[in-house]
């Protein structure tokens, strides 16, 4: 499987990308890829260490003539977002990713590809395995659990890294160099309800919203894509009274950093309202297809029969629906200082009904620390109004842009010379580990770059083949110039 990657050029980076795809590595389950990295270091006689949280560090001495240059750290995270289509039987704990080439891009079959950040890992391994690349003393830092908790970056100890410069290989646009990123925080609500018996004379249905693109809750939050949780809550708000609809459960979304693509609600409809219910679903689908014609034109609603014995009490059902409709989602503020840059946003990520509780996960991002907390407080207030228990995680800091960064200037100049085109030096609304690493190593000069990817954090994830070649040439030349 994926042997075709090992015949592509540049040979080494594609070879190791194929190796990475063959190893299951969902977030928080990175044992297999960690074992692979430790074995790789031993096989290549390189100094290799792991720390208490599972990060791996592999050191390689400077090449001849560069022994007196300041050291450099290459950094990538080893976990991947585990998302798949509703029809996929893929098991992320055991199955390799099955890739294919399509119109100049590498894609996976019905799953996330894991190029985020598997191609960064592959680049590190390719450099470590090469004898013809000039570089100063090199450290490759492979961090764990970036996607769900930044656990590796949080747990990184000061003093472990020796390099003065860090190249983060976890960005997704060829020709763009990032020198800052948003900070983030998670806000969680736990709403308790008290089920009551199903009334007689009702039929049970599951109503599903699907066909949405979803995407990364940082990179894609400003693209107007539909949020399955809110679209479904909107239907329930609009038609519950007219249809005398009763709620059995609500489930949508999976990951805190992904815009939810699918959601479903099991509902009970009086026998006398079935025809009206079916007409309402059809009409509502057309409304949304019209509204989202340019951002999510494939949105669909569908029905299937179900069975159930319990429903939400009417007042508790109303509170939940009201809160899900009221909960903010999307861009809250654009930057006043950077053109077309999202300053603050929030994502209504997942809603899960289980054991008489509805558990809601949201995430907030901002490049302004105080605005990040206000966004979290807005979301918290929404759910506190229905007496849900609300909590926040510790969050993570942003990475303050340094326009005078030497490595950013060197990277941009190198790109300009190699490709005769003008690069962009930017900040990014998505979170990067650089913010946390910078807390531990405040004097380290950092930049983030990578090849072009699209649809990350969704089964539409794809990696542009020609951009990988440019990414590799750029990385090799930057190492030579350091």
pLDDT of 86 reads: 84
Which long-range contacts link 88-91 to residues 24+ away (Cβ below 8 Å)?
88/459
How far, in Å, CA of 154 to CA of 363, rounded? 18
> Looking at residue 400, what is its pLDDT?
82
Q: Which tokens in the block code for residue 216? A: 């990364």
Q: Which two tokens stand for residue 60?
A: 């390689």
Please, what is the Cα angle at 118 between 478 and 105, to 5 degrees?
90
Class of domain 3-182+398-481: alpha beta
- Positions of E strands within 355-474: 357-366, 389-392, 424-428, 445-448, 453-454, 462-464
DSSP label of 95: P
- Quick one: pLDDT at residue 337? 76
The span from the CA of 114 to the CA of 147, in Å, is 11
Which of 19, 30, 79, 461 does the annotation list as catalytic?
79
Strand 263-270 and strand 246-252: pairing? antiparallel
Q: Known catalytic residue: 79?
A: yes
Q: Which structure tokens are listed for 275?
A: 């025809």
pLDDT of residue 398: 86
Q: Could you say which architecture CATH assigns to the domain 185-392? A: 2-Layer Sandwich (3.30)
Task: State the Cα–Cα distance between residues 182 and 227, nearest whole angstrom.
Answer: 21
Could you state, in order of their start, the residue ranges of all structural domains in the chain?
A: 3-182+398-481, 185-392
Q: Are 75 and 168 in contact (CB under 8 A)?
A: yes
> Does the pTM of the predicted model rise above 0.85?
no
Question: In a 3-state reduction of DSSP, which class is residue 277?
Answer: helix
Tens of each residue's pLDDT in the chain, 482 residues: 899 998 999 999 999 999 999 999 999 999 999 999 999 999 999 999 999 999 999 999 999 999 999 999 999 999 999 999 989 999 999 999 999 999 999 999 999 999 999 999 999 999 999 999 999 999 999 999 999 889 999 999 999 999 999 999 999 999 999 998 899 999 999 999 999 999 999 999 999 999 999 988 988 999 999 999 999 999 999 999 999 999 999 999 988 889 999 999 999 999 999 999 999 999 999 999 999 999 999 999 999 999 999 999 999 999 999 999 999 999 999 988 778 889 999 999 999 999 999 999 999 999 888 999 999 999 999 999 999 999 999 898 888 888 889 999 999 999 999 999 999 998 889 888 999 999 899 999 999 999 999 989 889 999 999 999 999 999 999 999 99
Q: Is 56 helix (H, G, I), strand (E, B) or coil?
A: strand
Q: Does residue 290 sit in helix, strand or coil?
A: helix
Q: What is the model's pLDDT at position 366?
A: 94
Annotated catalytic residue 146: yes
* pLDDT value for 446: 97
Determine which one of 19, 146, 219, 262 is catalytic. Answer: 146
């Amino acid at each position: 499987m994926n042997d075709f990657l090992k015949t592509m050029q540049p040979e080494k980076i594609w070879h190791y990308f194929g190796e990475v795809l063959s190893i299951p590595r969902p977030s928080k389950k990175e044992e297999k890829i960690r074992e692979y990295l430790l074995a790789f270091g031993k096989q290549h006689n390189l100094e290799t260490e792991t720390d208490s949280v599972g990060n791996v560090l592999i050191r390689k001495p400077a090449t001849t003539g560069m022994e007196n240059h300041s050291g450099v750290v290459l950094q990538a995270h080893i976990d991947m977002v585990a998302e798949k289509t509703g029809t996929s039987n893929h098991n992320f704990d055991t199955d390799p990713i099955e890739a294919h080439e399509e119109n100049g891009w590498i894609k996976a079959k019905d799953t996330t590809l894991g190029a985020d950040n598997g191609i960064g890992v592959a680049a590190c391994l390719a450099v470590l395995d090469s004898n013809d690349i000039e570089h100063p003393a090199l450290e490759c830092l492979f961090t764990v659990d970036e996607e769900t908790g930044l656990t590796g970056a949080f747990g990184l100890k000061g003093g472990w890294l020796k390099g003065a410069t860090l190249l983060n290989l976890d960005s997704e646009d060829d020709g763009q160099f990032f020198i800052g990123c948003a900070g983030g925080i998670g806000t969680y609500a736990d709403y308790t309800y008290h089920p009551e018996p199903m009334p007689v004379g009702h039929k049970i249905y599951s109503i599903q919203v699907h066909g949405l693109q979803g995407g990364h809750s940082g990179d894609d939050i400003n693209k107007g894509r539909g949020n399955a949780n809110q679209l479904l809550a909107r239907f329930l708000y609009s038609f519950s009274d007219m249809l005398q609809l009763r709620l059995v459960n609500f489930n949508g979304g999976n990951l805190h950093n992904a815009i939810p693509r699918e959601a479903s609600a099991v509902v009970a409809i009086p026998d006398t309202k079935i025809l009206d219910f079916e007409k309402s679903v059809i009409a509502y689908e057309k409304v949304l297809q019209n509204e989202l014609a340019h951002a999510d034109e494939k949105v669909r609603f569908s029905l299937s029969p179900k069975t159930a014995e319990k429903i939400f009490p009417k007042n508790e059902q109303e509170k939940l629906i009201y809160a899900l409709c009221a909960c903010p989602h999307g861009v809250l503020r654009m930057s006043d200082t950077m053109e077309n840059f999202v300053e603050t946003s929030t994502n209504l990520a997942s809603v899960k009904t289980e054991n008489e509780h509805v558990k809601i996960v949201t995430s907030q991002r901002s490049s302004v620390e105080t605005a990040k907390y206000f966004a979290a407080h807005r979301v918290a207030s929404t759910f506190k109004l229905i007496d849900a228990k609300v909590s926040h995680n510790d969050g993570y800091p942003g990475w303050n842009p340094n326009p005078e960064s030497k490595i950013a200037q060197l990277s941009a100049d190198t790109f300009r010379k190699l490709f005769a085109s003008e690069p962009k030096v930017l900040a990014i609304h998505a979170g990067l580990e650089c913010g946390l690493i910078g807390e531990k190593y405040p004097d380290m000069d950092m930049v983030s770059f990578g090849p072009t990817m699209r649809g990350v954090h969704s089964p539409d994830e794809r990696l542009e083949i020609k951009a990988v070649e440019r990414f590799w040439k750029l990385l090799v030349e930057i190492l030579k110039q350091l």
